[in-house]
Amino acid sequence: MTAAGEPRVVAHRGASAARAEHTLAAYELALQEGADGLECDVRLTRDGHLVCIHDRTVDRTSTGSGLVSEMTLAQLGELDYGTPGEPACLLTLRQLIELTLDWTSRPVKLFVETKHPVRYGGLVEAKLLAELARFRLATPASADFSRVVVMSFSAAAVWRVRRSAPLLPTVLLGDTSRYLGGSAATTVGATAIGPSILTLRQHPELVDKAAAAGRATYCWTVDDPADVELCRDLGVGWVATNHPGRTKLLLGASRGV
């Protein structure tokens, strides 16, 4: 996972400032707006399916309530995940992979974050790798040409992916002091670090330190124009944003396009 020049833009949960997060409409809009990558969070249902949902519960983002891990795919599919006037169905990881691969205008990377702690533990990564293998995405020719990047705040989760699929690029997310020192990223073999924009403002030296160690930098969630410029000036490789179209325009304007 490398980047040269200006940051590449990752749509955080899709174009989530304009459409309901983790919905097909949000990701389709992000693609239309020129996003270089699509970011999603995945959780396991009770019957073992990977679905694109950030929270432990569906309370905030749907018409229902309850823990994702205690509901079946069918039960989750009965809920509406859209906004008033714009209903939306549950999106599975499989559907998002298909959308990404079917987009032929330009290559787009899929950034998948596994959530922890969860009741199913390492089964999440095992299911994820199995799904990627189904689409022949688990064993890329090299990390640079991978269509998928796996991310987590859990160092153990990143290590599980690196051990089972060593050519898949990985991002260790987080802002702890141990993480800032770089020891955790080194230990688990992460190919990139993932600080928040708040951390990057406070520790701009992180980007150069990561680069010196052969790692890229993925920064979240970069919505303010001033922060977009900061990431560009520091040499951040990937910026996750709720406004992919606007961010692409800002970066284009900064180089006179």
Integer Cα distance of 190 and 250 in angstroms: 29
Phi first, then psi, for residue 44 (nearest 5°) are: -95, 135
List 22, 49, 54, 243, catalytic entry? 54
Give yes or no: 12 in active site: yes
Peptide bond into 117 cis (omega under 30): yes
Q: In the block, which residue shows the tokens 């890329």?
A: 140
Pairing outcome for strands 238-241 and 50-52: unpaired
> Does residue 110 contact residue 149 with C-beta atoms inside 8 Å?
yes
Give yes or no: 49 in active site: no
List 12, 22, 49, 243, catalytic entry? 12
Which of the residues are catalytic?
A: 12, 54
